Structure 1
Amino acid sequence: MESRSFLKSWGADYEADGVVRFRLWAPGQERVTLRLAGTDHIMRKSEEGWFEARVTDVEPGTEYHYVLADGMAVPDPASRAQKADVNGPSLVIDPARYEWQHRQWKGRPWEETVVYEMHIGTFTPEGTFKAAMAKLPYLAELGITMIEVLPVSQFGGERGWGYDGVLLYAPHSAYGTPDDFKAFVDAAHGYGLSVVLDIVLNHFGPEGNYLPLLAPQFFHEERMTPWGPGIAYDVDAARRYIAEAPLYWLKEYYLDGLRFDAIDQIEDTSEKHVLIEIAERIRAAAPNRYIHLTTEDSRNVTFLHPREENGAVPLFTGEWNDDFHNAIHVLATGETQAYYQDFAEAPEKLVARILTEGFAYQGEVSPQTGKKRGVKSAGQPPVAFVDFIQNHDQTGNRAQGERLISLAGPDRTRVLLATLLFTPHIPLLFMGEEYGETNPFLFFTDFHGELAKAVREGRAKEFEGHGDFEDESVPDPNAQSTFMASKLDWKKPNGEGKSWLDFTRQLLVLRHQHIVPLLVRAGGHSGTVLKTAKGFVAVSWTFPSGTLSLAMNIGEQSQPLPEMPGETIFAWQASGSELPPNAIIVRLASGDAA
């Protein structure tokens, strides 16, 4: 039977029945003691700064700390679970104890993917893995094929987005136990749903990070990220901690992939970049499973997403395409502040370029930064791009957390949703989008004291001069009411959101029926811009099995349709030779007819 336990370089691991090896890299400490269930055990130190101890007869769930020479007790940086918060005791976990119900699951092909981005804490009233598990039948019936869970690594406080994690191997205790998360993944597989996890390997959060005390060498003080000193990926022990975390999550939680956050902030001077090492190790470790790895990268690069001649993926599968969101957002709302200024001029043309070539910026100068950004991307297959019209970032980084439906109105948003789901790119929906959720998704944290004050004031300052927002109007990130306001309203899918939900379900049925079969052999250089006008975009893609054409109009004037061969597979508010405002039409011609 396949083992689903991962032996880590750091942390507590069962080596045999009841025998646990505890291992910590702490070159900044002369002495470290293991305090296990109230009993202290001497840890042997090596010349490289590793501390190690083996203890027999250790029961799963036993509490432990590492005690430093000055008496300070700290959690295990590689803890598999915390008893409660990020500063408290870690728990010994035996991963072999969970009994998987769907051991034969191998995943789903990438071209079938429809991603549903989920934040565990706000997805349900309870905000737990168990509560989210009860909604899996709903997602499967809707036509979702992949759940992307926002980061769950233990972070400071009870509530937060998850991007300030500090214990990279421990599921956040407020969401449930490791077995609860495994049960969620297991049950999802039973409904035919893949599960991927968003992970953060570019920084640690501001509360509960004891690594600078244990191992100052873990960071390069001279190399800064937006969140603090850069991680020393070229230092062996630090590299092991970072590189093993993705493998650990995939192995022990039988996940179907990972999304790597803000990789442009992962600066590594090693001969082989740590991200390439991670991808190669994952591919080697799981050759017989569908494992999907996506990246978020503001640089608009393609070197991490190559394809072999047979279409196989040797490294990363796809790239989050912020260009698509940003261009669509400007087109739909007219907002041009901050990073949206890069898309202020002729957003229709940028949307068309993105749909047919991948990125908007392919080496052009960004007006916002004054620097060139991106590389040529037309040669990438369409499925190398993950598109969205909203997500946690672009919604939550607004002062009031408004969703697109509140900004652009329901008519335009329906057209944009249909556009998203009929393109050959991989679509991503943000939780609640499927039924037209209007509750905001705000930025929320659970810090205290000076840290809470700094976050509150920093958030208010961030929006000075943005629109009509005054400082006091920006919700306090640390207030529980900010968190509660961000939860989904589950009365809506069966009430005022039912028609919207039915609309989404119809789109997904048609996508799986007509679009997915085109993508199996879809290659690069397949897109063509047919026409653009104010608020209007018409494009087509030619694949071995057919030609797909799409025209959408969110402008104020009707627009003549260009030639679009084939059968109409979807039309909304469209008829005749012109496309009226807030309308879309999609046509498909078979390979022979194209």
Structure 2
Amino acid sequence: MDHIGAAYLGNNKCKFNVWAPEKETMILHLLSPKDRKINMQRHDFGYFKAEVENVSPGDKYYYMPDGDQDFPDPASHHQPEGVHGPSAVVDHLSYNWQDTTWRGLPFKDLVLYELHVGTFSEEGTFEAIIPRLESLYETGINAIELMPVAQCPGSRNWGYDGVYPFAVQQSYGGPDGLKKLVDACHARGIAVFLDVVYNHLGPEGNYFGKFAPYFTDKYSTPWGEAINFDDAWSDGVRDYFSNNPLHWFEHYHIDGLRLDAIHTVFDKKAINFWELTYYKVKQLEQKLGRTLYMTAESDYNSPKVMKSPEVGGFGFQAQWLDDFHHSLYVLLNEEAKKYYEDFGQMEQLAKAYSDGFVHSGEFVKFRKQRHGASSAGMSGDKFIAFIQNHDQVGNHVGSLRLSALVDFERLKLAAAAVLLAPYVPMLFMGEEYAEDTPFNYFVHHSDEELIKAVQKGREEEFADFHWDAAPPDPQAEQTFLDSKLRWEKRDSGKNKTMLQWHQELIKLRRTEPALQCFDKNRIRVYTINQKGFVLLRQCENDQEKMLCLFNLSEEALPYTFPANEETGWKKLLDSKQSKWQNGGDKKGTATLPAQADSGSNQELPPLSLTVYRAIK
């Protein structure tokens, strides 16, 4: 089957290809350089094609299924006039890429940074991110993960209402803006991941049903009609979405994708959609000569997500580890226990470190059933760990970040718990300097009935989570503006101290061999009376050992250092030192010794992290 969309061939030639298996005719309606209507030729599997002369990059066009009326191209690469306007031809041949020597970064070495293009800067564009790359790199961040950039209605949206999965949001800077950002990132040694959505399409500007059976009523999703991956005429749908990763990897030099909510992609065919996509991506890897990463958000709690299709898996490099977030979040924020009723035990956090999935077959109250399978023994680089992301912040009442919910000491513990974990860490934009602006849910629809439906749906969603207050109005522009980062905060006071704390933790992660081992069989976690825990990290040859001592309580905890063959322990990091206090100008409290004898008895200060390396 064929790639669809408008493929510019150079020399003012363009090949148009659209899938409409149940249509008798298809007209290509070109609006420039002069108005032309061209009958397209029907080919196998329901594709209509036309190769046309005198077409230039930027020329606008519509399709007319059965000669009915004008509709944008479902596989449009650019919607310069928004979701209801004409599609435009994009020239992917002539962009002058500067990253020809870029081969990507090992996945296990990444420190991911999730950001929303519209709220990351005042300007809200791809190019406005570029001046901040140096600061991110100096912090230790070497991979940004963009929230969805597929064309959405209006000028502001989280991105999950996208209706043109191949097009780049015009208000962010369109195709060229994204290419400039990726090029600049690669020049600075930063990889680029992109969040993509294959489980649903947004409601406004969605004309897919005018062309083909892209949807099915066999299944339902929380966001509307389910994509047709296994019903009648699903071959073209599978082709459409399985080619989308290739589009981002090849035309935009993206390094990796994050696939939204893969558990709501329903497919019972013998060759699963994810298996089909996996082999297409692997084939493209060979062509491009660089590794291409596919990561997942999954509610399955199943190791098959990360296993290769050869053994019945989906083939993802890694998945987001929500159980880690829930386990840690509830222990840092007491209020959260009423929202995460199945979490709250220190042993659960210990299991999140040692195994991965916390729910691995146990009965879960929230689900009213047993859930999950064990991931014990799976390499740590198969998981992405975090304490904040767009969902966890945006779906909190008031869209509050962790910095607005817990004190400075607990914020430091949260950062350390993530960055010292045997997983690939991810920060949410602004987290590195304790940004406290909210990250609200926002949209910019034009249909009044849809706006009311979104507002009502948001209120009902908050009611389901038992929040005590109503959410901000998603349609209001101020809701969006309130979510923009305030970058100037990072230069002084407690925000500067938190930024330096993150820099120190990432530096430790990169320089200590024990923190670079992802073998879960060498991870040991010991709880201390539901109030703290000890994370033991060690190399494969056991030559390097590190103790990460966490006290999550407000009282000192007794602790005895391991005896074994170690002669002692050297302190590498102590959250209670004065330089790590709020604003860096307060006197530190009692700290553990710079060197501890093997078998010695000590007390872990309240709300503290101390890291030691074994002395042989």
Q: TM-score, with normalisation over the residues of structure 2?
A: 0.89
1:486-534 alpha-carbon deviations (Å, 9 max, x no partner): 0000111123422221221122212111158633xx3232222222323
> Does structure 1 residue 320 correspond to structure 2 residue 345?
no
Match of residue 4 from structure 1: none
Match of residue 417 from structure 2: 419
1:243-293 alpha-carbon deviations (Å, 9 max, x no partner): 000111011111111111111111111212111221222123214323222
**Structure 1 residues 445 and 136: alpha-carbon distance in aligned structure 2, compared to 1, 3 A threshold:** same
**Structure 1 residues 410 and 489: alpha-carbon distance in aligned structure 2, compared to 1, 3 A threshold:** same
Match of residue 582 from structure 2: none
Superposition pairs for residues 442-521 of structure 1, below 5 Å?
A: 442-448=440-446, 449-464=448-463, 469-471=468-470, 474-496=471-493, 497-514=495-512, 518-519=516-517
The answer as to whether partners of 1:28 and 1:213 remain within 8 angstroms in 2 is: no
Match of residue 574 from structure 2: 571
What secondary structure, in the 3-state scheme, does the structure 2 residue paired with 1:424 have?
coil
Q: Which amino acid aligns with 1:354?
A: A
Q: Which amino acid aligns with 1:196?
A: F
C-alpha distance in structure 2 between counterparts of 1:264 and 1:314, whole Å? 11
Mean CA deviation greater in 540-549 or 429-438: 540-549
C-alpha distance in structure 1 between counterparts of 2:136 and 2:242, whole Å? 32
**Structure 1 residues 28 and 399: alpha-carbon distance in aligned structure 2, compared to 1, 3 A threshold:** farther
The answer as to whether partners of 1:280 and 1:314 remain within 8 angstroms in 2 is: no
Match of residue 612 from structure 2: 587
**Structure 1 residues 256 and 284: alpha-carbon distance in aligned structure 2, compared to 1, 3 A threshold:** same
Match of residue 334 from structure 1: 334
Superposition pairs for residues 207-356 of structure 1, below 5 Å?
A: 207-215=204-212, 217-234=213-230, 235-287=234-286, 288-306=289-307, 315-336=315-336, 340-344=340-344, 346=345, 348-356=346-354
C-alpha distance in structure 1 between counterparts of 2:25 and 2:164, whole Å? 22
What secondary structure, in the 3-state scheme, does the structure 1 residue paired with 2:15 have?
strand
Match of residue 395 from structure 1: 393
Q: Which amino acid aligns with 2:299?
A: S
What secondary structure, in the 3-state scheme, does the structure 2 residue paired with 1:349 have?
helix
**Structure 1 residues 332 and 514: alpha-carbon distance in aligned structure 2, compared to 1, 3 A threshold:** same
C-alpha distance in structure 2 between counterparts of 1:512 and 1:445, whole Å? 39
What secondary structure, in the 3-state scheme, does the structure 2 residue paired with 1:13 have?
strand
Match of residue 548 from structure 1: 546
> Does structure 1 residue 159 correspond to structure 2 residue 159?
no
C-alpha distance in structure 1 between counterparts of 2:442 and 2:480, whole Å? 6
What secondary structure, in the 3-state scheme, does the structure 2 residue paired with 1:74 have?
coil
The CA deviation at 1:54 is 1.6
Match of residue 28 from structure 2: 34
**Equivalent residue in structure 2 for 1:23, among 17, 27, 39:** 17
The CA deviation at 1:47 is 6.2
The CA deviation at 1:138 is 1.1
What secondary structure, in the 3-state scheme, does the structure 1 residue paired with 2:572 have?
strand
The CA deviation at 1:388 is 0.5
Match of residue 437 from structure 1: 435
What secondary structure, in the 3-state scheme, does the structure 2 residue paired with 1:455 have?
helix
Structure 2 unaligned spans of 5+:
577-590, 594-601
Match of residue 67 from structure 1: 64
The CA deviation at 1:447 is 1.4
> Does structure 1 residue 89 correspond to structure 2 residue 86?
yes
* Aligned residues between the structures: 575
C-alpha distance in structure 1 between counterparts of 2:2 and 2:89, whole Å? 13
Q: Which amino acid aligns with 1:579?
A: L
C-alpha distance in structure 1 between counterparts of 2:514 and 2:477, whole Å? 42
What secondary structure, in the 3-state scheme, does the structure 2 residue paired with 1:537 have?
strand
C-alpha distance in structure 2 between counterparts of 1:516 and 1:18, whole Å? 57
The CA deviation at 1:589 is 3.5
1:6-40 alpha-carbon deviations (Å, 9 max, x no partner): x9621111245322111111234333321112321
1:116-146 alpha-carbon deviations (Å, 9 max, x no partner): 1011000000000010112111111111011
Identity %: 36
The answer as to whether partners of 1:122 and 1:487 remain within 8 angstroms in 2 is: yes
What secondary structure, in the 3-state scheme, does the structure 1 residue paired with 2:8 have?
strand
The answer as to whether partners of 1:336 and 1:343 remain within 8 angstroms in 2 is: no
> Does structure 1 residue 200 correspond to structure 2 residue 197?
yes
Match of residue 5 from structure 2: 11
The CA deviation at 1:110 is 1.5
**Structure 1 residues 314 and 299: alpha-carbon distance in aligned structure 2, compared to 1, 3 A threshold:** closer
Q: Which amino acid aligns with 1:543?
A: C
C-alpha distance in structure 2 between counterparts of 1:377 and 1:132, whole Å? 37
**Structure 1 residues 467 and 201: alpha-carbon distance in aligned structure 2, compared to 1, 3 A threshold:** closer
The answer as to whether partners of 2:199 and 2:226 remain within 8 angstroms in 1 is: yes
What secondary structure, in the 3-state scheme, does the structure 2 residue paired with 1:464 have?
helix
Q: Which amino acid aligns with 2:294?
A: L
C-alpha distance in structure 1 between counterparts of 2:464 and 2:21, whole Å? 46
**Structure 1 residues 107 and 465: alpha-carbon distance in aligned structure 2, compared to 1, 3 A threshold:** closer
C-alpha distance in structure 2 between counterparts of 1:556 and 1:338, whole Å? 21
What secondary structure, in the 3-state scheme, does the structure 1 residue paired with 2:450 have?
helix
**Structure 1 residues 465 and 41: alpha-carbon distance in aligned structure 2, compared to 1, 3 A threshold:** closer
The answer as to whether partners of 1:357 and 1:378 remain within 8 angstroms in 2 is: yes
C-alpha distance in structure 1 between counterparts of 2:550 and 2:6, whole Å? 55
The answer as to whether partners of 2:437 and 2:482 remain within 8 angstroms in 1 is: yes
The answer as to whether partners of 2:305 and 2:319 remain within 8 angstroms in 1 is: no
**Structure 1 residues 467 and 265: alpha-carbon distance in aligned structure 2, compared to 1, 3 A threshold:** closer
**Equivalent residue in structure 1 for 2:523, among 518, 527, 530:** 527
| Structure 1 residue ranges, 4+ long, deviating more than 6 angstroms after superposition | none
The answer as to whether partners of 1:114 and 1:428 remain within 8 angstroms in 2 is: yes
C-alpha distance in structure 2 between counterparts of 1:83 and 1:318, whole Å? 35
C-alpha distance in structure 1 between counterparts of 2:188 and 2:9, whole Å? 34
C-alpha distance in structure 2 between counterparts of 1:516 and 1:529, whole Å? 14
The answer as to whether partners of 1:329 and 1:335 remain within 8 angstroms in 2 is: no
The CA deviation at 1:69 is 4.2
The CA deviation at 1:337 is 6.2
Match of residue 3 from structure 1: none
C-alpha distance in structure 2 between counterparts of 1:80 and 1:414, whole Å? 43
Mean CA deviation greater in 476-485 or 78-87: 78-87
Q: What's the Cα RMSD here?
A: 2.2
C-alpha distance in structure 2 between counterparts of 1:465 and 1:101, whole Å? 49
The answer as to whether partners of 1:352 and 1:532 remain within 8 angstroms in 2 is: no
**Structure 1 residues 569 and 383: alpha-carbon distance in aligned structure 2, compared to 1, 3 A threshold:** farther
What secondary structure, in the 3-state scheme, does the structure 1 residue paired with 2:399 have?
coil
**Structure 1 residues 349 and 67: alpha-carbon distance in aligned structure 2, compared to 1, 3 A threshold:** same
Q: Which amino acid aligns with 1:536?
A: G
**Equivalent residue in structure 1 for 2:378, among 367, 377, 380:** 380
The answer as to whether partners of 1:536 and 1:555 remain within 8 angstroms in 2 is: yes
C-alpha distance in structure 2 between counterparts of 1:533 and 1:154, whole Å? 51
The answer as to whether partners of 2:385 and 2:426 remain within 8 angstroms in 1 is: yes
Q: TM-score, with normalisation over the residues of structure 1?
A: 0.92
